[in-house]
Amino acid sequence: MAVVVRYVDDKAVIQECLLTFVEAKDLTAESLTAYLVSTLTKYHLDPACVVSQGYDGAAVMSGGCSGVQHRMKEVAPYAAYVHCYAHTLNLTLVDCVKSVQCACDFFCLLKALYVFTSASKAQAAFVAKQELHPEKPVHRLQKLSDT
């Protein structure tokens, strides 16, 4: 999970800073909120001073009753929730690409290639050969994702 803070500096200039990446072993709203609060505290930032929060539209993040945004409001009552603009832009671009036939064909071909190779014995043999060298990472084709 990437933790990014946006703040106004001493010269009234808006700054944005990637604090860290956090390994999110548990993806419940309660755990993700705990990760956020502990990360802010680790960097000597008071979680109660958060005035805004932005996430994608997943229910675990944006849920108004038990999502991360609701739980963060318990810690920081003035933390307004805004749907992440980068995620909104990504969703818009995905829909636009779907209307371009050659782009749609390209991504369909990539998906078919992944399905074909991930189920093949050649892929299993390729992975098994790589695992003979534990000091090196194992490479696999990644499943295509809209985001």
What are the residue ranges spanned by the domains of the chain? 2-83, 100-147
pTM of this prediction exceeds 0.95: no
CA dist 131 and 133 (Å) reads 5
54-112 pLDDT per residue, tens: 887 777 887 878 889 999 999 999 999 888 777 788 888 888 888 899 988 988 888 88
Q: Which position has the token pair 């371009």? A: 100
